[in-house]
């Protein structure tokens, strides 16, 4: 077994951090590492938490982690910010938050931004979650900002997804527009002590009456005041209830199988993409692109030609 994988499975925080760096940097031992970790995964409960910036997700997650620690669970957190394509790295908020649980060896926190290619974030997030899973974390929280396509892709990892709204933020309409109804297993009205919290709760319940009136699971709507730790126990109870529901209905296994299928597809796409980029990097097809640029050739015929070249090069090429 890969020595780093061995340390990860023992739950060593430093090894976990290094393994995730391997993943982010596409280290040449990454595939070996992930293969070694895989048999040790599948045990953690994966929670997705999403919502607009300013919804108070950070403090909510913070309180949830404290609650989970009191119950004796170990916790891993992956904080994802897909709106940051250039900077990558850590979110400001996480730096602050990391200090809250910094002295607790059973809590592991890592931030991830978009680096490199489109669709890459979903894949690297999955892989990072796998590291925490193999390390034996009981609950893994995947936290994202916003409700765009990237966030939805990231949420596709979780067993249970919670959407955080706040009164008066004007983002509830935005949330519904973005199809959040389809992915939310539960709703959190955070800053529940603010004016408009009850009205917002009623609006969400009203939407659920329409959209989920005959669904086997109706997403609960939970009011929290994260800065005063109110509603956190009820929030966790709702998560646990949803987990029970998933397991009893067989939906747990179905979701997980569907997520794995997506992951295998993502790996294939990533490798094919790499193959194409490597081929173009040789420069031997630059004349083709110039022809397209001059309108002597159209992009569709050029792509067709290159596809043939890829398959020809592959036949005599190396295995990877």
236-275 positions binding its own copies, by CB under 8 A: 253, 256-257, 260-261, 263-265, 267-269, 271-273
User: Which ranges of 81-148 would DSSP assign to H, the alpha helix?
Assistant: 92-100, 120-134
40 or 218, CB closer to its own copies?
Answer: 40
313 sits near its own copies (criterion: CB under 8 A)? no
Number of residues in contact with its own copies, rule: CB under 8 A?
Answer: 68
Q: Which of residues 17 and 310 has its CB atom nearest to its own copies in the complex? A: 310
Is 80 one of the binding residues for its own copies (CB under 8 A)?
no
Q: HSE, CB side, 13 Å, CA atoms: give it for residue 204.
A: 30
Residue 25 in contact with its own copies, rule: CB under 8 A: no
Min. distance of Cβ 170 from its own copies in angstroms? 8
- Contact with its own copies (CB under 8 A): which of 48, 76, 146, 219? 146
Instruction: Determine the Cα–Cα distance for residues 28 and 57; give it in Å rounded to an integer.
Output: 35
Order of strands across the sheet that contains 75-81: 107-113, 75-81, 139-145, 45-51, 160-165, 186-189, 221-223
Distance of CA 150 to the CA centre of its chain: 9
31 forms part of the interface with its own copies (CB under 8 A)? yes
Query: What does the DSSP assignment read for 155-194?
Result: HTT-SEEEEEE-TTSS-HHHHHHTTHHHH-SEEEE-STTS
What torsion do the CA atoms of 204, 206, 210, 216 make, to the nearest 10 degrees?
Answer: 60
Q: Is 14 in the site for its own copies (CB under 8 A)?
A: no
Find where tokens 């005063």 sit: 228
Say whether residue 227 binds its own copies (CB under 8 A).
no
Q: Phi first, then psi: what are they for 161, rounded to 5°?
A: -115, 125
- Contact positions vs its own copies (CB under 8 A): 31, 34-35, 38-39, 41-42, 53, 82-87, 114, 118-119, 121, 146-150, 152-153, 174, 177-179, 182, 253, 256-257, 260-261, 263-265, 267-269, 271-273, 276-277, 280, 289-290, 292-293, 295, 298-304, 306-308, 310-311, 314-315, 319-320
């Amino acid at each position: 077994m890969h020595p780093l994988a061995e340390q990860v499975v023992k739950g060593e925080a430093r090894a976990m951090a290094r393994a995730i760096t391997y993943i982010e940097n596409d280290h040449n031992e990454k595939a070996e590492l992930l293969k070694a970790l895989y048999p040790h995964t599948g045990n953690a409960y994966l929670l997705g938490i999403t919502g607009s910036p300013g919804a108070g997700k950070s403090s909510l997650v913070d309180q949830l982690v404290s609650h989970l620690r009191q119950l004796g669970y170990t916790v891993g957190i992956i904080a994802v910010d897909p709106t940051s394509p250039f900077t990558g790295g850590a979110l400001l908020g996480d730096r602050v938050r990391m200090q809250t649980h910094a002295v607790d060896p059973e809590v592991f926190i890592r931030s991830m931004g978009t680096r490199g290619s489109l669709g890459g974030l979903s894949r690297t997030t999955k892989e990072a979650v796998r590291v925490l899973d193999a390390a034996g974390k009981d609950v893994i929280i995947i936290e994202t900002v916003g409700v765009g396509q990237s966030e939805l892709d990231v949420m596709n990892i979780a067993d249970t997804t919670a959407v955080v709204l706040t009164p008066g933020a004007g983002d509830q309409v935005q949330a519904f527009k973005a199809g959040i109804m389809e992915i939310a297993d539960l709703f959190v009205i955070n800053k529940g002590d603010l004016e408009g919290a009850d009205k917002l709760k009623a609006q969400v319940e009203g939407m659920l009456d329409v959209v989920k009136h005959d669904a086997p699971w109706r997403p609960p709507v939970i009011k929290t005041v994260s800065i005063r730790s109110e509603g956190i126990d009820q929030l966790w109870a709702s998560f646990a209830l949803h987990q029970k529901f998933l397991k009893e209905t067989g939906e747990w296994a179905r979701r997980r199988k569907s997520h794995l299928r997506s992951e295998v597809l993502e790996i294939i796409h990533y490798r094919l993409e790499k193959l194409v980029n490597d081929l173009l990097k040789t420069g031997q097809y630059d004349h083709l692109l110039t022809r397209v640029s001059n309108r002597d050739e159209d992009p569709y015929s050029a792509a067709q030609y290159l596809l043939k070249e890829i398959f020809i090069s592959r036949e005599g090429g190396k295995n990877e």
